[in-house]
Structure formats: structure tokens, C-alpha cells
Amino acid sequence: MAKMKGATVINTERCKGCGLCVIACPFQVLALSDKSVNRKGYNYAVTVKEDTCTGCTSCAVVCPDGCITVYRKKEE
């Protein structure tokens, strides 16, 4: 079976750092930023393990603010 590779783009200014995407991700691709904050003062979500993302969209579906855009491509 062809492997799917995914990528997430996070709107960090819109993110409120609730962390629901971090829990929803089955491959621990996302984490909350350690020290950096956005303009609202929240520790926003960041992609930490880019390679393991399969583009399942779980993170984006549970995001209450619709901050995450997901892309997916078949690996050749």
C-alpha cells in the first residue's frame, strides 16, 4: 500500500493554545510551543515531528478555531 505523507499549516495568530489537537493526533506530530507566544499571549501549536504526519486531519477536525490546514500526498 502506498504510504501517505501529510503536512499541517497552523495559523498561529488564530491559535488559542487549547492543546486539543496535540491530544487528537495519533502520531504526536503536534505540540504546544515552549516559550514563544502569539500576539494574544497563547502558547500556540507547532509541528514537531513533520515526518510522521499522515494527513489524517484529526487535529484540524477537533480544532475549535479552525486554525489547522492539512495537506496529503501519496509517497512514490
Partner 1 sequence: MDIKEIIQPENLVYKKPELLNDTPMHYCPGCSHGVVHKLVAEVIADMGMEEKTVGVSPVGCAVFAYKYIDIDWQEAAHGRAPALATAIKRLWPDRMVFTYQGDGDLACIGTAETIHALNRGENITIIFINNAIYGMTGGQMAPTTLLGMKTATCPYGRDAKLHGYPLKIADIAAQLEGTCYVTRQSVHTVAAINRAKRAIRKAFEYNMAGKGACLVEMVSTCNSGWKKTPANANKWMEENMFPFYNIGDLKDINQ
Contact positions vs partner 1 (CB under 8 A): 5-7, 9, 14, 16-20, 23-24, 40, 42, 50, 55, 57-58, 60-73, 75
Shortest separation between residue 36's beta carbon and partner 1, angstroms: 17
d(CA 6, CA 49): 11
Shortest separation between residue 43's beta carbon and partner 1, angstroms: 10
Shortest separation between residue 28's beta carbon and partner 1, angstroms: 14
